[in-house]
Structure 1
Amino acid sequence: MVTAKRAYNWYISLVAASCMVLYGYDASVFNAVQGSKHWVAYFNHPNSQIIGAINTAYTVGAVVAGFFLGGPCADYFGRRMGMTVGSALVIVATLMQTFSPRGNIGCFIGGRVIIGLGQGLALTAGPIYIGELAPQEIRGKIMSFWQMFYSVGSFIAYWVNFACSKHRAALGEWDWKMVVIFQLLVPILIIGQVFFIPETPRWYIQHGNRIDDARASLHKVRDTDEEVENEILSIREAIEFEKEAISGSYAALWKDASVRKRMYLALVLNAGQQITGQGTLNTYSTIVYKKVFTNDSTIALINALNATFGILFTMNATWTVDRFGRKFLFITGAIGMALCMLIVATVETQTPSPEGTKTVPVGISIVFLLFLFAFFYKPSWGATTWIFTSEIFSMNVRAQAVGMCSQTQNVANSIVQQFFPTFLDNCGFYAFYMFAGINALLAAFVWLWVPETKKVSLEEIDTLFGGSNHVERGAEMGIGEKEGGLQSIDDGEKTVVRMNENEVVPKSVGN
């Protein structure tokens, strides 16, 4: 039975997950507007180098924010503030792009940089917020909506673009401006809700040991006082151990061997997410489909349908990620994607093109296979990469590590985006054999080196990577608030949490 507090936990998590709509919309909107002749004419027919610069500009902003700004902002000002500032920057950048002076591609590119900065901030704070407030038994299920909301962003962008493509003559230049300006919708909704949801208890305790604020935050999303007090004690024990035995700062990223191991794994997985072929298809699907279809409206419809099915495919993660585990989804998804890319390349390269494009049956086959690729990608490397990254780091480095690792997606994607158009022009669909090989290697990597993390509490996940259990080590150090708050004591038979002088609550095993 879903309690009112569990339902509220879902609500606040979905507010945070809306940050991913920003990413999904923006990743799709530039791909969409490239098909508009009005956009091309408005900016004086930009060449391929300018097109590449527009993509790179976004990446530069996102990487700078993810590596240098997102972590400190989420740590020092709070997870909610990270989401708010990121959303505000997206609003400013959207207006810059929509109302760029005619021919002023520099203003449009500047907007792309600022959108990258905004998303770098929001995409760091959002998954941390969800991970720190979601109960461990449903953390994976809730985080699966993070990736699903990426598909929601793509869904909105591509369907708005499809609708505009059907009325290009009537809309004129607004056929692309309408697609761009719709990006205002979600950041406005996020800002309108974010300060009515609680900050995370871990942030409150890290900043001034604000136990009462942390307790009030947890009371909104946990069903019993015992759950609240146990979780607060576990958080405090873990934080104190990290400060005393490791480092309370980002220095733990290189001082702690187990954290370094997690960084290496997360960096590879996040880079791998983008070189599966999905990142390239998000940016260049219009160009890819032009080698198969001649009608622009048909291509816009295929992109819109792909985004729609992407939502449905991602929902598979909600019932699989906590049932079968992260590792199973990674491996299954990678093998499925490798087979799809292998068959797509074979079908396209080994069939005739009588008039420069493929016959209808071949075109349909290619579309089906790329949709099947999305079926394997969305719940696995799409959703599970974010779930795994947001849950494996200890509190003292979580914000910075998540920001750095998640923006590795943009680093990898920008590298592939630079050479893929040339690769596609010179080699055609033979380029997809490369993605087949990459996915096979990713499956082997996960099989050999990635541990399973399902249903492990955030405070105790360190043991999976060769580190200490921060809760147990913190308890051994005698962590407890001596003045009117929590104190961990031992009565000889069981550990208890003392809330005050007159009330003692048993501490259950685990978190």
Structure 2
Amino acid sequence: MESMGRKRAYNWYISLVAASCMVLYGYDASVYNALQNSDHWKAYFNHLDTEMVGAVNTAYTVGAIVSGFFFGGPVADYFGRRVGMAAGCIFVIMATFMQAFAPQGNIGCFIAGRVFIGIGQGLALTAGPIYIGELAPPHIRGKIMTFWQMFYSVGSFIAYWVSYACGQHLDSLGEWDWKMVVIFQLLMPILILAQVFFIPETPRWYIKHGAKFDKARNSLRRVRETEQDVEDELLAIREAVEFENEAISGSYAALWKDRSVRKRMYLALIINAGQQITGQGTLNTYSSIVYKKIFTSSSQINLINALNATFGILFTLSCAPIVDRFGRKPLLIVGAIGMAICMVIVAAVETETPTLPNKAKSEPVGISIVFLLFLFAFFYKPSWGATVWIWTSEVFSMNVRAQAVGMASQTQNVANAIVQQFFPTFLNNCGFYAFYMFAGINVLLALFVWWFIPETKKVALEEIDVLFGGSNHVEKGGDLLGVEDAHHTTVGADRAGSIDNKAAADHVQEVKV
């Protein structure tokens, strides 16, 4: 078991600052769900029909898709990963005020706020995982990225417990029962802004933009244990960037022209879209509507949502000790199969049991369904929740990483927008038979991973291209630099940039700038 030294602890700290961007996503996805359980919010906006309920949610995804596809990558690439995270936080702060203080009945202003939050999260959710992936050592990269998804659950945790607390004081709060829930969204972006410019920029960005080797070296010194570790990794990054600058493009066109990158892009788009059509995205946005078909008490529904978010944190943390031990692929397969089984049983229990005169289910049936949906989250959180982000953040080379991660992650919102727009009407017309659809999707996702997704655990970022039939950027860059033995970051190494040949280590002294 590795010791937690001062620099390793600092590596965890800066990674958790970046991972806090995911709290923005988790809070926003959950806050709209919570608002749908507030009678004051419904009355404030004149009781929206199911199509408009879906449209309000879709507005967020439109902003996130546009931002993630077209702005997240360029901002993170040209201005830095830290600027990308900070810009996203600023948009979220502005949007929070737009939503909380929208004029009564003016759903357009509320929707505009949702679009702005989507834009902000498109920026932050592109830069955050790239930052973590580029500074975390390979052998703990999976563990650290687990906290990226875990912080989504933290966002849900805050939103649902604030909603539950406000729901206990409806008479005294009035319409502030939902405004308080919205305003609490300011908490995390303010905390991120207070820290983000005090953490180091990634060495890969410094080298890629202006060959700032001294700044890159100083960044690495803050998170690597020895000077040898620093110089080894600096040389590996330089070799990879040298090859990428000489041989391949860093534009969006490279995502489709390079066969190896194109293959990764297809795979990343599919599993990121798959993450949102497992059923979890729908449950997180519309669980209040789902539970209203089982329970009649709004307070009870708020409590169930809050408990679900609480357990979500624990379920996600279970990924940390196993993702780098068993790998990404087994987690995705087991998770998909488990989710499919849960969805089949949930649909069967609800549709095959009698409904009481008050249009609710009996208490035992209700408890069974809640347990099964919690079990669904148990399978989802460490697998398609956390592992999809881990895999996506580590499979792309430096020249296209920002653009690719931004586009792939926002495919989640493309899928989300499609499903979330029709799901309220689908659920209203078909009831829990809709969950059979999610069961089938999860089976297909398990088969897809089995056949097409390669394992990436503990592979150095600069050498991951070889898994997809591409060139080894370190070896090719080493050839350009004249390094005698460029292949010094071995696949599966216990630390980034481990040197097999001392000549390569010595050579770094010649390329210092």
Give the TM-score taking structure 2 as reference length. Answer: 0.94
Alignment of 1:423-502 (within 5 A): 423-478=426-481, 494-500=503-509
Alignment of 1:10-409 (within 5 A): 10-355=12-357, 356-409=359-412
* Unmatched runs of 5 consecutive residues or more in structure 1: 481-489, 504-511
Matches of 1:320 and 1:435 in 2, distance apart?
Answer: 26
Q: What residue number does 2:492 align with?
A: none
* 2:254 partner letter: A
Aligned pairs, how many?
494
Secondary structure class of the residue paired with 1:320:
helix
1:354 is displaced (CA, Å) by 2.6
Matches of 2:353 and 2:55 in 1, distance apart?
Answer: 35
| Kept after mapping to 2: 8 A contact 1:280/1:417 | yes
* 2:122 partner letter: G
Alpha carbons of structure 1 residues 402 and 479: separation in structure 2 relative to 1, 3 Å? farther
1:104 is displaced (CA, Å) by 1.4
Q: Deviations over 1:58-109 (max 9, x none)?
A: 0110000000000000000000000000001100000111111112111111
| Kept after mapping to 2: 8 A contact 1:79/1:128 | yes
* 2:360 partner letter: T
Q: Deviations over 1:320-368 (max 9, x none)?
A: 1001000010000000000000111111111111322211001000000
Matches of 1:267 and 1:500 in 2, distance apart?
Answer: 41
| Kept after mapping to 2: 8 A contact 1:202/1:214 | yes
Q: Deviations over 1:120-164 (max 9, x none)?
A: 000000000000000001000000000000000000000000001
Matches of 2:459 and 2:36 in 1, distance apart?
Answer: 44
* 1:184 partner letter: L
| Kept after mapping to 2: 8 A contact 1:230/1:497 | no
Alpha carbons of structure 1 residues 391 and 491: separation in structure 2 relative to 1, 3 Å? closer
Q: Deviations over 1:226-283 (max 9, x none)?
A: 1111111111111111122222333211111000000000000000000000000011
Matches of 1:267 and 1:110 in 2, distance apart?
Answer: 27
Matches of 2:509 and 2:268 in 1, distance apart?
Answer: 41
The reply to whether residue 419 of structure 1 matches residue 435 of structure 2 is no
Secondary structure class of the residue paired with 1:199:
coil
Q: Which moved more, 1:389-398 or 1:420-429?
A: 420-429
| Kept after mapping to 2: 8 A contact 1:70/1:400 | yes
CA RMSD of the aligned region, Å? 1.6
**2:4 aligns with one of 2, 5, 15:** 2
1:193 is displaced (CA, Å) by 0.2
* 1:105 partner letter: I
Alpha carbons of structure 1 residues 357 and 459: separation in structure 2 relative to 1, 3 Å? same
Q: Deviations over 1:394-448 (max 9, x none)?
A: 0000000000000000000111112211221121111111111100000000000
* 1:419 partner letter: F
* 2:369 partner letter: I
Alpha carbons of structure 1 residues 137 and 98: separation in structure 2 relative to 1, 3 Å? same
Secondary structure class of the residue paired with 2:198:
coil
Matches of 2:501 and 2:147 in 1, distance apart?
Answer: 44
| Kept after mapping to 2: 8 A contact 1:246/1:255 | no
* 2:504 partner letter: T
Q: Deviations over 1:163-212 (max 9, x none)?
A: 01111111001000000000000000000000000000000000100000
Matches of 2:158 and 2:236 in 1, distance apart?
Answer: 41
Q: Deviations over 1:464-485 (max 9, x none)?
A: 01101110111122267xxxxx
* 1:477 partner letter: L
Matches of 1:200 and 1:311 in 2, distance apart?
Answer: 28
* 1:148 partner letter: M
Alpha carbons of structure 1 residues 57 and 247: separation in structure 2 relative to 1, 3 Å? same
Alpha carbons of structure 1 residues 491 and 44: separation in structure 2 relative to 1, 3 Å? closer
| Kept after mapping to 2: 8 A contact 1:340/1:372 | yes
1:310 is displaced (CA, Å) by 0.1
Q: What residue number does 1:485 align with?
A: none
Matches of 2:505 and 2:52 in 1, distance apart?
Answer: 64
* 2:375 partner letter: L
| Kept after mapping to 1: 8 A contact 2:50/2:425 | no
| Kept after mapping to 2: 8 A contact 1:43/1:103 | yes
* 2:439 partner letter: A
